[in-house]
A and B are shown apart, each in its own frame.
Chain A
Amino acid sequence: DQQVKQNSPSLSVQEGRISILNCDYTNSMFDYFLWYKKYPAEGPTFLISISSIKDKNEDGRFTVFLNKSAKHLSLHIVPSQPGDSAVYFCAASLGGGADGLTFGKGTHLIIQP
């Protein structure tokens, strides 16, 4: 029972263009969402988060959009850089607590020169 879904296992984007990674969730009680980035042989690292009271959060080249009615969030990276090539995990939680973090399967982003 996947409560957090990342339907694209991989995504290829040209350097300098925009990367859009998508995530859908089924539990309407989720109220805090996060994106983690993972390089091979390393642990996931926190990238950006958004509370359910907002619909957008921006941090440099990274912007997360939340559409609560559609239970959908997306991560935009612009411009995409070679160092952005990694697996991106979407995660959701109840009450902003790490105790209930539910992760998606991840999307492998490949930035092509």
Chain B
Amino acid sequence: DTAVSQTPKYLVTQMGNDKSIKCEQNLGHDTMYWYKQDSKKFLKIMFSYNNKELIINETVPNRFSPKSPDKAHLNLHINSLELGDSAVYFCASSQGAGGAKLFFGSGTQLSVL
């Protein structure tokens, strides 16, 4: 019973394809996030949702679209994948928008060929 689970763990796909990464948390948290860890190992926030509403949308191409059907789920859909999208994507959650203690999923390694 993983607290924050994301699927798939590995995703290998061709340039131009559309793919989705799913995330679910069973902690009862009301804020969820997507972070990206690039080749330089920086962890950068992409999106933040509080109670299904978008709070943060950092400078991310609009090919990336988060979708939150309910406060326990935050999925990430990526259109027209590019080589530069290859990275590890982490889902996370916290209690309240101001809660700095994040609980992370195990990550999705995306490789675009």
Binary flags per residue of A58-99, CB closer than 8 Å to B gives 1, else 0: 000000000000000000000000000000010101011111
Query: Does A101 sit at the interface, judged by CB under 8 A?
Result: yes
Interface size (B, Cβ < 8 Å)? 27
Query: Does A113 sit at the interface, judged by CB under 8 A?
Result: no
Interface size (A, Cβ < 8 Å)? 22
Partner of B55, one of A95, A99, A105: A99
Residue from the set A43, A89, A101 with the largest chain B CB neighbour count within 10 Å:
A43
Query: Does B34 sit at the interface, judged by CB under 8 A?
Result: no
Chain A positions within 8 Å of B99 at CB level: 97-98
Distance in angstroms between the alpha carbons of A1 and B19 in the assembled complex: 30
Chain A positions within 8 Å of B100 at CB level: 32, 34, 49, 91, 93, 96-98, 101
By a beta-carbon cutoff of 8 Å, the part of chain B in contact with chain A is 4, 9, 31, 33, 40-45, 48, 55-56, 90, 92, 94, 97-107
By a beta-carbon cutoff of 8 Å, the part of chain A in contact with chain B is 32, 34, 36, 41-46, 49, 89, 91, 93, 95-99, 101, 103, 105-106
